[in-house]
């Protein structure tokens, strides 16, 4: 199994996130690797993860010193991943490793299993600020209308894929920044792959690095590009 973590200036949270995943999956007995892809970082994120990589054999770091966005970082992680099951999660540890492990267990009969904070049965232990919740619901409506993706939560940072499915769409994947999740799901749907959505336990991290006021218009433009296959 390969766990990909894109990171942009995440010095406050990246160490604890990496250690949480390393410790949990070592205890799980599963063969795994953690791939961290820092992107255009101007803080100490790269120094932190490279220091951890010296100490932990399961940790691989691929620093991209120029701007490629979340999507570009994850695509690079896809290319490096060696596992039959490939996961990507956010750097802020909003989705705990035990939740990711539970999602992986449900990937037997699906090509992609995605976590949802909005399905019945989901548990949010610390909610997002009101503005971010409203923005999330608005974007979800746009995703449904523009792309026909009938899911409750395309943006939760917890997605599990079979390697065989990703290999089919990887040549077509484009860097849509923070709308990257939607682009992946849209291509999987077009190719007829089975996508399953499951409720998760999730916790907002106040140190998370995302400016929704800037991200919303960019996401809208990206959705249009995804629909037009640009």
Instruction: Convert the pLDDT of each residue in 38-48 to its tens digit.
Output: 999 999 999 99
Most confident of 14-18, 108-112, 126-130, 226-230: 14-18
**Are residues 48 and 11 in contact, defined by beta-carbon separation less than 8 angstroms?**
yes
- In SS3 terms, the chain reads as CEEEEEECCCCCCHHHHHHHHHHHHHHHCCCCEEEEEEECCCCCHHHHHHHHHHHCCCEEECCECCCCHHHHHHHHHHHHCCCCEEEEECCCCCCCHHHHHHHHHCHHHCCEEEEECCCCCCEEEECCCHHHHHHHHHHHHHHHHHHCCCCCCCCCCEEEEEHHHHHHHHHHCCCCHHHHHHHHHHHHHHCCCCEEEEECEEECCCCCCCCHHHHHHHHHHHHHHHHHCC
Q: Write down the pLDDT at residue 169.
A: 96
Decide if domain 2-228 falls under CATH 3.90.550.10.
yes
The pLDDT tens digits for 74-106 are 999 999 999 999 999 999 888 899 999 999 998
The pLDDT tens digits for 183-221 are 999 999 999 999 999 988 776 666 555 555 666 677 778
Q: Write down the pLDDT at residue 207.
A: 52
- In this structure, the strands spanning 33-38 and 123-126 are unpaired
Spatial distance between the Cα atoms of 18 and 7, rounded to a whole number of angstroms: 11
pTM assigned to the model: 0.86
Write down the mean pLDDT value for the chain: 88
113: CB partners within 8 A, 6+ apart = 103, 104, 106, 107, 159, 160, 195, 196, 197, 198
The pLDDT tens digits for 48-64 are 999 999 999 999 999 99
- In this structure, the strands spanning 201-203 and 123-126 are parallel
**Six-digit token string for 63:** 């620093």
Spatial distance between the Cα atoms of 139 and 154, rounded to a whole number of angstroms: 9
Spatial distance between the Cα atoms of 193 and 128, rounded to a whole number of angstroms: 31
**Are residues 43 and 76 in contact, defined by beta-carbon separation less than 8 angstroms?**
no
Q: Write down the pLDDT at residue 123.
A: 75
Spatial distance between the Cα atoms of 81 and 12, rounded to a whole number of angstroms: 26
**Residue linked to tokens 């894929």:** 161
Residue 225 has pLDDT above 80, yes or no: yes
């Amino acid at each position: 199994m390969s766990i990909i973590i894109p990171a942009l200036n995440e010095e406050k949270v990246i160490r604890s996130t990496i250690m949480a995943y390393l410790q949990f999956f070592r205890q799980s007995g599963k063969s795994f690797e953690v791939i961290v892809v820092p992107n255009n970082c101007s803080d100490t994120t790269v120094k932190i993860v490279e220091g951890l990589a010296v100490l932990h054999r399961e940790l691989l770091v691929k620093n991209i010193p120029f701007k490629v966005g979340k999507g570009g970082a994850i695509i690079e992680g896809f290319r490096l991943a060696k596992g039959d099951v490939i996961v990507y999660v956010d750097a802020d540890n909003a989705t705990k490793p035990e939740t990711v492990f539970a999602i992986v267990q449900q990937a037997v009969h699906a090509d992609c299993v995605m976590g949802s904070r909005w399905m019945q049965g989901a548990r949010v232990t610390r909610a997002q600020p009101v503005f971010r919740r409203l923005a999330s619901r608005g974007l979800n409506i746009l995703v449904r209308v523009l792309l026909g993706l009938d899911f409750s939560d395309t943006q939760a940072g917890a997605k599990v894929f079979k390697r065989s499915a990703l290999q089919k769409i990887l040549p077509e994947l484009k860097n849509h920044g923070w709308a990257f999740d939607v682009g992946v799901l849209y291509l999987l749907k077009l190719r007829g792959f089975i996508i399953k959505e499951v409720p998760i336990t999730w916790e907002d991290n106040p140190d998370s690095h995302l400016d929704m006021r800037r991200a919303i218009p960019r996401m809208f433009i990206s959705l249009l590009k995804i629909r037009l296959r640009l």
